[in-house]
Amino acid sequence: MLTITDEQVVYSLSPNNAPVAEAEPGETVIFYTKDCFSNQIQTEADLFEAVGWATINPATGPLAIKGARPGDTLVVYIEDIEIADQGCMVTVPGMGAAGDLIEKSETKIVPIKNGKAVFNEKISIPIRPMIGVIGTAPANDDIPCGTPGKHGGNMDTKLIGKGTTLYLPVWVEGALLAMGDLHAVMGDGEVSVTGVEIPGKVTVKVDLIKNKSEEWPVLETEESFYVIASAEDLDEASDFALKGMIQFLCKRTDMNMHEIVSLLSAVGNMEICQVVDPLKTVRMGISKNIMQNYNLKF
């Protein structure tokens, strides 16, 4: 089985990154990942300011997929996510959705015990490991791993976890898949800038859908399909996600535009992923159960 270590990382997703390995379509690959602070915060005495922006959000990779070309879709089936026994969180003045309320930097160390993140003596949270940063290389730009976009990147979407399938547009030859920024658990919004940040090990199976793609990443869970879109503000991101889902359904059903828009207004789910990155991220979902007579597939 192909393995990529956490020493093979990039800090931007770029067509100029040289692949560290190549996988065949259908191959299973293990990615070992550092946390978003490059594993530099180990105690509550280690503050965010000591980390340095240059080492924020490392993504392991990139992995080239043989035969991937622009216009294809990279399929990433997330078979498993294993996490370390300790995570961390930070609050920093001026950072995050509530940064104006924070007067000094603090670090919280969060032990992982018996499948729960021990937040304090009274609160233990069931873990739900997920991938914060996962994407392909953009066509022409070097985009920092901390920024989301049509290539994926730092989407911070809590549903990207074990048992889900992510469909990513391919923009360059080989696709150049990279991932990192795992969380033991994260709430929608990631309002403090961190979930429970943690190193780990991700096992994925990669595949290709040739000559077919969507404009934005698409996530398939057991229950639903989601289009994930990012923009400078939530209004624009929600518009992109909605229009992306409308186009997704237009291509896969015989419903007209009026029916699709009405259906999404009746049963679609527009949800915030994160509000703290350079671009904000929204997902628009539709239940597979509602669409069962259409046998909806990517």
- Pick the last residue of a domain from 209, 236, 252: 209
Which CATH number do you get for residue 274? 3.10.28.20
pTM (whole model) above 0.95: yes
**pLDDT tens-digit profile of 276-292?**
999 999 999 999 999 99
Which CATH number do you get for residue 54? 2.60.120.580
Q: How many domains does the chain have?
A: 2
Q: How far apart are CA 140 and CA 135, in angstroms?
A: 14
Contacts of 177 (CB under 8 A, 6+ apart): 61, 62, 63, 65, 74, 76, 134, 135, 136, 168, 206
In a domain, 214, yes or no: no
Asked if 45 and 184 sit in the same domain, the reply is yes
Asked if 182 and 229 sit in the same domain, the reply is no
β-bridge partners, 230: 281
Asked if 25 and 137 sit in the same domain, the reply is yes
* Cβ atoms of residues 86 and 182 within 8 Å: no
Domain that holds residue 242: 223-294
Asked if 101 and 161 sit in the same domain, the reply is yes
Q: How far apart are CA 123 and CA 11, in angstroms?
A: 34
Q: Which two tokens stand for residue 92?
A: 């920093």
pLDDT of residue 53: 85
Asked if 201 and 227 sit in the same domain, the reply is no
Cα torsion angle, 13, 14, 20, 24, sign = positive
pLDDT of residue 52: 82
Asked if 40 and 161 sit in the same domain, the reply is yes
pLDDT of residue 244: 98
pLDDT, block means (10 residues), the chain with 298 residues: 97 98 98 98 96 93 98 98 98 96 98 98 98 98 97 98 98 98 98 98 98 98 98 98 98 98 98 98 98 96
Asked if 103 and 204 sit in the same domain, the reply is yes
**pLDDT tens-digit profile of 1-53?**
999 999 999 999 999 999 999 999 999 999 999 999 999 999 999 999 999 88
